[in-house]
């Protein structure tokens, strides 16, 4: 997807909304979401960044980048970059098994 399409098409996914009654802005919430995602993605040497408040950019250490519209697409893009499937539900199974 080109950068312009990413700007025009983003924002419709449920994860892009602010919870009712929250005093936090949508932009600040996006930064918090990106920070949490990066805590998981750093194990794979990937990094997520906000793209003008509409989309996200997933980057690899080789300089490859993919624009994703919403959080639902992040795992698919990460799998594409890594060339293997990822299961976020079992990523931390080893950590929890250790005493």
Give residue 78's domain range.
Answer: 3-11+24-86+90-94
Q: Which two tokens stand for residue 43?
A: 């194990």
47 contacts 58 by C-beta, under 8 angstroms:
yes
CA–CA gap between residue 33 and residue 23 (Å, rounded): 16
Using one digit for the tens of pLDDT, what is the confidence trace for 30-75? 888 899 999 989 989 999 999 988 889 999 999 999 999 888 889 8
Does 19 reside within a domain? no
Indicate the pTM of the whole model. 0.69
Does 66 reside within a domain? yes
* Helices and strands (H, E) in the chain, number of each type: 4, 3
Does 64 reside within a domain? yes
The predicted structure's pLDDT at residue 1: 46
Does 50 reside within a domain? yes
Does 99 reside within a domain? no
Total domains, the chain: 1
What share of the chain in percent tops pLDDT 90? Answer: 35
The predicted structure's pLDDT at residue 19: 58
């Amino acid at each position: 997807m080109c950068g312009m399409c990413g700007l025009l098409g983003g924002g419709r996914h449920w994860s892009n909304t602010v919870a009712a009654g929250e005093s936090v802005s949508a932009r600040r919430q996006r930064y918090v979401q990106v920070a949490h995602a990066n805590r998981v993605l750093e194990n794979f040497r990937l990094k997520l960044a906000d793209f003008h408040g509409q989309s996200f950019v997933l980057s690899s250490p080789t300089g490859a980048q993919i624009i994703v519209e919403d959080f639902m697409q992040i795992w698919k893009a990460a799998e594409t970059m890594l060339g293997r499937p990822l299961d976020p539900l079992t990523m931390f199974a080893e950590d929890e098994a250790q005493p």
